[in-house]
Amino acid sequence: MSGIVVFGAGGRAGRAVTAEARARGFVVTAVVRDPARYPDLDAEGVTVVAGDVTDPGLVAGVVGGHAGAVHAVSPFSGPEQGFDTLDPEFFVKAADALLDGLASAGVDRLVAVGLAANLLGADGRPVMDDPLAFPPGIRPFALAHTAGLHRLRERGDGPVDWVMLTPPGFLDPGGARTGRYRVGGERLPDDGRAPWLSYADLAVAVVDEIERPVRHRTRVSVFNYREETVE
């Protein structure tokens, strides 16, 4: 099968996507900032390369010949990191570089991992605008992520067919792979049940959209419920 490029392959989402893609027979080019920090990524069918997702020339050089690319890069590891080194334009730069680089290389599919903070709550406002639901201290990161989504939408008529899959606020790193997930819209589910997703099932959704694209130039939520089996 064709290959998939995973930008941010060293993070939880990127690792899960890499594992899912390999299980389906894809070869994976795993892009990280510093390969020396991720010796465990090197495995059969995985080529680890150094790269910067905000560099369109590098993106073009890496993605050529692949079936699609996954954007799972985050420059922010948590509140303890602070915001002194956070570039508020990071996700905008990444969106531009990916759209330009993929187009230059003739690769037309991009799947990005979103952030629940910019989904809409029951009141119709973004979750990040509710201080009871979202920690105000990490709002700068949420705003940066949202700016990247806006840039993808602004450039939605270009040659690259993108989709952003947005998991709920809680992603379980140890959760089982069920192979199933629900797809919503711009709002968090508001039927009284708490949405949840394992990283493994997020990866299923991501690779599904590379292997058999269904959603085009849009952002959707992906989630499960703990207490039910999703059909």
pLDDT in tens, 86-126: 899 999 999 999 999 999 999 999 999 999 999 998 889 99
Q: What is the pLDDT of residue 82?
A: 65
Q: Write down the mean pLDDT value for the chain.
A: 92
Question: Per-domain residue ranges for the chain?
Answer: 3-225
pLDDT grade, residue 229 (50/70/90)? Answer: very low
Do the beta carbons of residue 165 and residue 222 sit within 8 Å? yes
pLDDT digits (tens, 9 = 90+) for 125-158: 999 999 888 888 889 999 999 999 999 999 989 9
- Closest by Cα among 7, 58, 1 to 27: 1
Q: What is the pLDDT of residue 231?
A: 44
Q: What is the pLDDT of residue 45?
A: 97
Alpha-carbon dihedral sign for residues 128, 129, 134, 135: positive
- What is the topology classification, in CATH, of domain 3-225? Rossmann fold (3.40.50)
Q: What is the pLDDT of residue 227?
A: 67
